[in-house]
Structure 1
Amino acid sequence: MLSRLFRRRFLEALADAHRRGALLFFGDYAALADSAVFSQWLAPLRACAWSVYAKRPFAGPEAVLAYFSRYTHRIPIFNQRLLAFVERSVSFR
């Protein structure tokens, strides 16, 4: 149930951001600026099952924000650092 709810809410928020013009697309993804193309791109995401696992953070929400801030304000995780994505594991350089 949580997976379906999260998927619906996430995709609704993404579509809303697109309608408001809050998303920018460049290079190979420039065509996604068109609403019809973006809608077609989202369609398979609505049809597949999502896995969502959530539980309360051990040290509270502040610890979660501190954890994520390390990735947004220091060395970012970007595609060039991606080494492998296999099953349930992601490896970065």
Structure 2
Amino acid sequence: MNDRTESANLVNLYTKLWTTQEYFKGVRILNFDNAAYTCYQGLLKENQQLNKKRLQKDLRIAAIALWANAVMVTRNQKDFSQIPNLVLEDWTH
């Protein structure tokens, strides 16, 4: 690494990585556990229109929010608004 520009950029990138990691120390990350899986199965059983391959990952995320009684923050209103009882917020506006 003889190029000073490359060195400065590398330090900058690692500093951003460190800052991001520090930020996430204060964020509670919810798990897709058995309770969320049960909620997910219920969503599929009670809402056949949600049983689409493209929605499966979104449904798992929604199941986590539902069992935790959490607000789902997303700009993807189109897909997530199809899920009953899911409280949504869009912070991009």
TM-score norm. by structure 1 comes to 0.26
Query: Greater strand share, 1 or 2?
Result: 1
TM-score of the aligned structures, taking structure 2 as reference length = 0.26
Q: Which has the larger radius of gyration?
A: 2
